[in-house]
Structure 1
Amino acid sequence: MSTQTPDDQAGRSPVRFDTKIAVLLRDDLETWQRLNVTAFLVSGLGTEAPEVIGEPYADADGTPYLPMFRQPVLVFEGSKEVLTAAHGKALQRALPRSVFTSDLFATGHDADNRAAVRAVAAAGLDLVGLAVYGPRNAVDKVLKGARMHA
C-alpha cells in the first residue's frame, strides 16, 4: 500500500505505489492476441486482491461507471523461457497470479479454459501470458529478464 493516496496527491507529484500490477506477454504473439491475453489476465486480480480496485467513477452528469485498478498496470514482454522462469518465481513467492496458455486460443468459454489449464502440470504449461500482483520488489524479481512492452 502506498504511503500517499492518489486523492492526497491530486494535481501534485505522482504517487509511488509499494505494490505492482504487471502483465508479462510472450514476445511472439500477434497484436490481437496480446490485447486479448492482457484483458483476460488482469480480469481476475481484483477478485483475489480487492485492494487493487479503486472507487467507482462518475462523469459531470452523474452517470456512474465501474471502478478500475487504483494503480497502473505495467505490460512486459519476453521469450517463452523468460515467461516460464517468471511463472516459477511467482509460484515460489506465492504471489497472486493468473495464467493464459496457448491452448486457450482454441477454447470458447470459461469452463473449457479451466479444463485446458487443469489438464497440464504447472511445469508443462505452454504459457503465453502471466499477470502478477504483489510488493514492488517481489514483482520486479519475478520479471527479471523481461522488457517493457513497446
Structure 2
Amino acid sequence: MRFDTKIAVLLRDDLLTWQRLNVTAFLVSGLGTVVPEVVGEPYEDAGDVRYLPMFRQPVLIFAGGKELLTAAHSRAIGRGLPVAVFTSDLFTTGHDADNRAAVRAVPTEALDLVGMAVYGPRNAVDKVMKGAVMHP
C-alpha cells in the first residue's frame, strides 16, 4: 500500500548502535499524540489479549552527516512540518524536564542535532530528506 504521507527519521551517521535505537524511539514517541491519524487500531491476539496500537504506516529511517541533518531540519521547519528533535545534550540529561530545558537553552540554528523525525505529505518529506541514505 502506498501512503500519501510519510514518517521519516534522520539519524546522524556517527551514532553508536544503542544511541541510534534510543534516539529513534524518543523521536517517534510523540508523533501519535500530535498527529493521531498516524496511529492505527489496537491489536488483539487469538487469546483475546489486547495490545497497544502502532503506527498505521512504515517509519523510514535515514542516515546522514551533521551538515545534512542541519539542512534537513531547516527544510522541515521552513515547510511547517511536524518535527521532533534529539540533540547531543539529551544523552546527558536524566528526565523529560531536563531534556526540554536542554533544547530550550540553544538557539534553533545552533542545535547540535543527532536525530530528527518528520511527518507530512510524501513529496514534502522526500524534499526534507534530500541527500540522506536509507539507514543500513
Which bin holds the TM-score, normalised by the shorter protein?
over 0.9
- Please, what TM-score do these two structures have when normalized by structure 2? 1.00
> What TM-score, normalized by structure 1, do the two folds share?
0.90
Aligned-partner Cα distance in 2 for 1:120–1:110: 16
Instruction: State how many pairs are aligned.
Output: 136
> Pairwise CA RMSD of aligned residues?
0.3
Q: CA deviation at 1:104?
A: 0.1
Q: Counterpart of 2:71?
A: 85
Q: Deviation of residue 53 (structure 1)?
A: 0.2
The answer to whether the aligner puts 1:16 opposite 2:2 as a matched pair is yes
Partner of 1:58: 44
User: What amino acid is aligned across from residue 45 of structure 2 in structure 1?
Assistant: D
State the one-letter code of the partner of 2:117: A
* Offset from partner CA, 1:58-86 (integer Å, 9 cap, x none): 00001000000000000000000000000
**Equivalent position of 2:12 in the other structure:** 26
Q: 1:35 aligns with which of 21, 27, 38?
A: 21
Q: Which runs of 5+ in 2 are unaligned?
A: none
Which ranges in structure 1 are unaligned for 5 or more consecutive residues? 1-14
Which stretches of structure 1, 4 residues or longer, exceed 3 Å deviation after superposition?
A: none
Q: Which residue of 2 aligns with 1:94?
A: 80
Partner residue in 1 for 2:129:
143
Percent identity over paired residues: 78
Residue 48 of structure 1 and its aligned partner are, at CA, apart by 1.0
Letter of the 1:81 partner, please give it: E
CA distance in 2, matches of 1:98, 1:48: 11
Using CA pairs below 8 Å that are at least 6 residues apart, which structure has the higher relative contact order?
A: 2
